[in-house]
Each structure stands twice: as C-alpha cells, then as structure tokens.
Amino acid sequence: MTSEQDRWSRVKSRLRSNVGEDVYTSWFARMDLEAVQDESVRLSVPTRFLKSWIQAHYAERVLSCWQAEMPEVHRIDLTVRSAVRPIAQPKEVAAPVEVRRMDGRPAQELRSTATAPVSATHDALGGSPLDPRLTFASFVVGRANTLAHAAARQVAEGRRGDPVMFNPLYIHAGVGLGKTHLLQAVTWAGNSGSERKVLYLTAEKFMYGFVAALKTQTALAFKEALRGIDVLVIDDLQFLQGKSTQAEFCHTLNALIDAGRQVVIAADRPPSDLESLDDRVRSRLAGGLVVEMGSLGEDLRLGILKSRVAAARAHHASFDVPEEVLTYLARTITHNGRDLEGAINRLLAHSKLNNQPVTLEMAEREVRDLIRPQEPKRIKIEDIQRVVARQYNVSRSDLLSSRRTANVVRPRQVAMYLAKTLTLRSLPEIGRRFGGRDHTTVLHAVRKIEALVSKDTALSEEVESLKRQLQE
C-alpha cells in the first residue's frame, strides 16, 4: 500500500518535471491513483473535462512516466471519480476509457466505451452537485482569504431585489486554496431559507449543458432558464472553451448583470490572464470585484486541520488527533487544502483499520508523500517586465513603448523571451502584454535571444541571473 503510494509519488514527480510546473498544476494536480492491477493502472480525475483533456493531450506521457517506474504497465484507465456526494441528482460516472499502447508503438487508442446521454436543459440547469461539507460553517477565515470570504458572505446574504454591490464577484487562487469551498458555501447559504434561486455550475457543466442544448435544439429554453435565476455561480472558469460557448457565456453574463442578478465566478487566474476569452468578456469580468486568495498560512492550515478533525469526529467519536500532530501537519503540509484533507483522511483510515490512536510517528509515516518541496512560484509577465527593466535600467513603459533604440530593443527582446520560456502565455498574448505587438514580433524576439544565448556568454549569464531573480 505504502510502496504503491511511493511509486505514485515518483510517477507524479516524473510527470511534473516532464510537463513543467504550470501544466502539471493545471491538469494533473487532482489526478489520484485508484488502483494498480497487473498491467493496468487506474487513475481518476474529478471532471469529465479533465479526463478528455488529459486523454487527448497527455495520454502517452502519463503512460511512459508509469513505465519508467513499472515497465510492466501497459494500460492507463482514466476515470471520473464522483468527488462529491451528490445531493440534488445522481451523478453519472463516466465509463473508463482505455489508453493503450501496443508493441511499444507510439500509437494511442482512445476508446470511449460508453457516453452517458446528457439530457439537455434539465441536466444543465440541475446545477453541478454540491458537497454538503463545503459550507460557511466549515470555512476557516485567515489572512489569505478574509476579503474573499467577506465578499462571498455579503453575496450570500443578499435578498431578491437588493441592490447588487459588486458584480460579478470574481475570486481567483491556485489549486486547493478554497475557491470551490467558498462558492459552494455561497450556493448552500443562498438556497436555504431565502427565496432566491442560486445555481452552481462548473464551467465544464455550462459548456456541456449548452452544447447538449444546442444539439437537442432547446438552446432557447436553456437560455431562458439560465436567465431566470438570481445568483449564478460558475466555478473553474479557466476551463471555458470554444467560441460559441464563450459567446453564450458572454450573453448570459451581460443579461444577468444588466438585470441586477448576481454573478459569482472562480478561476485559477485573474481575468486579464484568461487568454482564450475575448476582450469584452475579460473587461466585464474585471469590472466587478476581483479578489485573490493567497496561499494558506500556517495558522490557516492549522485551522483547516482542526475543522476537518471536528467533522470526522461527528461520525467517529473515538478519533482524536493530538495537538503535536496537528502542529506537525500544519507546518509540513504547505501545499494546499486538498492535501490537508487527504492527511486527515489517511490518519482516520489508519487509526480505524488498525484500531490504534494517532501518534506523531504514525503521522510522519502516513503523510510522507504529501510533504512536497516548496513549489516554484508562478511567474507573471508584469514581474518579468519589472525585473528586466530594473536590470537594464530602463522603465517598464520603455519596454512597452514603440521606441527602437538599442538600449530598449534588447531588454524588450529579453523580456519577451523570458515571458515565452517562463510562463505558459501564448505568443499573441505576450504581444498584447507588450504594448500590443504582433505575435510575429514576439517570435522574432524569442528566436533572436535563443540564438544569442548560445554564443554570447555574457548575455547568457544575464538571462540566467534574471531567471534566478524571478524564481526567488
């Protein structure tokens, strides 16, 4: 069991270094190991969208990372786990899809054994399932989330017809920092007691609902029904894709906001970084209140652990975690809330199965793989511009300007090169962020610097030093 987990940790590290930190966090942070059996490994992800994305883009790499650890593995089954206990409606669990590679050929066969029929409007408007544990009562407030929490509370306490204070409320934060928890808390609070209709949808659900509605030609009914709600809560907006869905999202957003209905959105990045959305949507999103939730500080982590233990004790009265263990976990599991939850679940499972009290020694053993080295931080284009400008003694506006003097051109090219290599931003997006330049200009800059660093040691050292400053 433990060795299986160890192996899984190693596979994850391989994957992480293989695809890079950003890609890893976006697509694989929520992938769990379900089982290893003979030649096949079963992995799960929380949403259908993640499943299809990983299958379409990363199936081979996941398999080869496993093969590097376990050569006998020939198949990866990716399933959608029901992450939450459905309340409103039974959640369909998508059938596993196989990823195979035969005789080492790099061909991939993706076979969808069954596709659950989506019943158009009903399905979309039933909302995404809610987890009964994710309420305001169990949400711990700390420095990282005070503002987001206050704003969410305010929204949840509104009544039909009240003037809307900030619209949309847009919350962004990295994985596992409490976005879904907060959004579901708003939904629970809003739907209990008040006469308002609050609808919680993942962006994925919004997409599938809309696409399905279009197929069955009930798009009109879908739109009407969507517009008939008081609060629309959309989670993981970064996954919204496709032109027609976006256009529809844009209409819905405008219609709701103009009608004085509240919209609450969560995403893993600020509106300005949602590259695939068009400018009008972005500016509409940025026009309300945009709040970032920071990483969980140690106090907050301790609070979350305590709240988890208290919740577990409601069902397992004998379960107890000594203070020193909680302190240890809060100090060492720094990554995100999901790992904190995982740690408590493991201690609970272990102490129940073996009928043993939780001790520090047991905790150290059980959560070893959850303790990760400090994550490299996410680098922003603004940071790159700031650091480069400082290094070359020019201003940031020089970098964005159209000036072509040598003392600005080179730093600008270096900055664009760093933006391409250190972030996941596309060339057009980088061009846009550098004073509205064309993507070919960015490409030219990237190639130029690439060519230069291989011959010019001084420049290459400068670039390395800039990278270090940015990664600090």
Residues of the shown chain interacting with Mg ion in the complex, contacts defined by CB under 5 A: 179-180
Residue number with CB closer to ligand ADP (50 or 449)? 50
Structure tokens at 290: 């945009």
Q: Which residue is nearest to ligand ADP (CB)?
A: 337
CB of 183: closest distance to ligand ADP in angstroms?
Answer: 8
Q: Which residue is nearest to Mg ion (CB)?
A: 180
Residue number with CB closer to ligand ADP (177 or 419)? 177
Contacts of 55 (CB under 8 A, 6+ apart): 78, 97, 99, 110
C-alpha distances in angstroms, 265 versus 233, 237, 282, 409?
6, 7, 12, 39
Distance CA 436, CA 362 (A): 56
Residue number with CB closer to Mg ion (179 or 412)? 179
CB of 414: closest distance to ligand ADP in angstroms?
Answer: 34
The residues of the shown chain that bind ligand ADP, judged by CB under 6 A, are 134, 138-140, 145, 173, 175-181, 304, 307, 337-338, 341
Distance CA 147, CA 181 (A): 15
Amino acid (one-letter) located at 383: D
Residue number with CB closer to Mg ion (235 or 462)? 235
Distance CA 51, CA 213 (A): 22
The bridge status of strand 262-267 relative to strand 75-80 is: unpaired
Structure tokens at 12: 């994850």
CB of 173: closest distance to ligand ADP in angstroms?
Answer: 5
CB of 178: closest distance to ligand ADP in angstroms?
Answer: 3
63 binds, among ligand ADP, Mg ion, none (CB under 5 to 8 A by kind): none
CB of 432: closest distance to ligand ADP in angstroms?
Answer: 27
Contacts of 148 (CB under 8 A, 6+ apart): 171, 173, 178, 182, 291, 292, 293
Residue number with CB closer to ligand ADP (178 or 411)? 178
Residue number with CB closer to Mg ion (180 or 413)? 180
304 binds, among ligand ADP, Mg ion, none (CB under 5 to 8 A by kind): ligand ADP
Residue number with CB closer to ligand ADP (22 or 341)? 341
381 binds, among Mg ion, ligand ADP, none (CB under 5 to 8 A by kind): none
127 binds, among Mg ion, ligand ADP, none (CB under 5 to 8 A by kind): none
Peptide bond into 168 cis (omega under 30): yes
261 binds, among ligand ADP, Mg ion, none (CB under 5 to 8 A by kind): none
Distance CA 96, CA 99 (A): 10
CB of 168: closest distance to ligand ADP in angstroms?
Answer: 17
131 binds, among ligand ADP, Mg ion, none (CB under 5 to 8 A by kind): none
Give all strands of the β-sheet with 262-267 in edge-to-edge order. Answer: 198-202, 231-235, 262-267, 169-172, 289-292
365: Cα within 13 Å, side-chain hemisphere? 11
178 binds, among ligand ADP, Mg ion, none (CB under 5 to 8 A by kind): ligand ADP
CB of 219: closest distance to ligand ADP in angstroms?
Answer: 29
CB of 280: closest distance to ligand ADP in angstroms?
Answer: 26
Structure tokens at 279: 């400018």
Residue number with CB closer to ligand ADP (5 or 138)? 138
User: Cβ atoms within 10 A of the Cβ of 172, count?
Assistant: 22
128 binds, among ligand ADP, Mg ion, none (CB under 5 to 8 A by kind): none
Residue number with CB closer to Mg ion (175 or 452)? 175
Residue number with CB closer to ligand ADP (98 or 339)? 339
The DSSP secondary structure of 143-200, one letter per residue, reads TTTHHHHHHHHHHHH--TTPPPSSSSEEEE--TTSSHHHHHHHHHHHHHSSSS--EEE
Buried-exposed string 103-126: b where 16+ CB fall within 10 A, e elsewhere: eeeeeeeeeeeeeeebebbbbbbb
Contacts of 349 (CB under 8 A, 6+ apart): none
286 binds, among Mg ion, ligand ADP, none (CB under 5 to 8 A by kind): none
145 binds, among ligand ADP, Mg ion, none (CB under 5 to 8 A by kind): ligand ADP
CB of 338: closest distance to ligand ADP in angstroms?
Answer: 4
Distance CA 105, CA 107 (A): 5
CB of 140: closest distance to ligand ADP in angstroms?
Answer: 4
